[in-house]
Amino acid sequence: MQCVINRRAQFSASHRYWIPEWDEAKNKQVFGACSHFPGHGHNYVLFVSLWGEIDQYGMVENLSTVKQVIKGEVTSQLDYAYLNDVWEEFQTTLPTTENLARVIWQRLADHLPIVKIQLFEHPQLWAEYQGNAMKATLTIQTHFSAAHRLALPHLSLEENTEIYGKCARTHGHGHNYHLEVSVSGEIDPRTGMIVDLGKLQTIVEDYVVEPFDHNFLNKDIPYFAEVVPTAENIALYIAQLLEKPIKDLGVQLEKVKLIESPNNSCEIYCGASAESFKTPSQQAPQLVTLH
């Protein structure tokens, strides 16, 4: 029986986004406050995913051994370190979150059957790397508060209540939505970035957070005049809004995850991620999963 197991680790480190052959103006233009001397720090959280067969002892890998490998090869070297200087790989490519995840994979791949590295720079920004050359995925998280009512316009209150329960009540109700936007692309061999993070955050703010926040979606967002603003439909619409402007940044929108409440969330998979979920008979470009 095959299984994926995950091991968590953490370390605190600092880094600076600065390319010596650029002048100060260009460094500030590309990296913003991240270019400030002498750098800044993060409490990183690392998840190492391993794949294999469950053995006679009920394990894919002995977690005590996994812990020691991660400590010896990664965390003991990075904890309380200045990342730009600690590993030679960062002399040519900056220690961004996505590049750091890639290099950690390279450090562990000879010792463990890795299938994914997930590295959190902080709870609202993380990267994933799956061993695909210079390709990585970066995820940002944000939030907005909005109200909605779940009701089909052509049905009566009684009929809508039969379908949507309390969510069909005429005055609607609200949520503090948490939104995760994942993009994928090639890590630049010099900057270590797959995308200009500031521009990505601005797109999400301008296309989603600002128009959605503190609004009644059924009335204030024209799209939902006829489309019921379920979590699934909201996430799908957000993906449609973001796909082109994100593509214009030179990266691919991979996933939109909308967390409506601690008990209810949905995910829209786009591009290659959607293809991996499709059966031969499926033609739709998006897949919705609820959990």
Q: 122, 143, 173, 214: which one is catalytic?
A: 214
CB environment 212-245: b (16+ within 10 A), e (fewer): beebbbbeebeebeebbbbbbbbbbbbbebbbeb
Phi (first) and psi of residue 191, to 5 degrees: -80, -20
Q: 36, 61, 111, 167: which one is catalytic?
A: 167
Q: Is 21 a catalytic residue?
A: no
Phi-psi region of 172 (alpha: psi -120 to 50; beta: other; left: phi over 0): left
Q: Are 133 and 139 in contact (CB under 8 A)?
A: no
Q: Is 167 a catalytic residue?
A: yes
Q: Are 175 and 217 in contact (CB under 8 A)?
A: no
Q: 260, 266, 267, 270: which one is catalytic?
A: 260
Q: Is 178 a catalytic residue?
A: no
Q: CA–CA distance from 262 to each of 88, 120, 173, 177, 228 (Å)?
A: 42, 20, 16, 10, 21
User: Catalytic residue numbers?
Assistant: 167, 214, 260
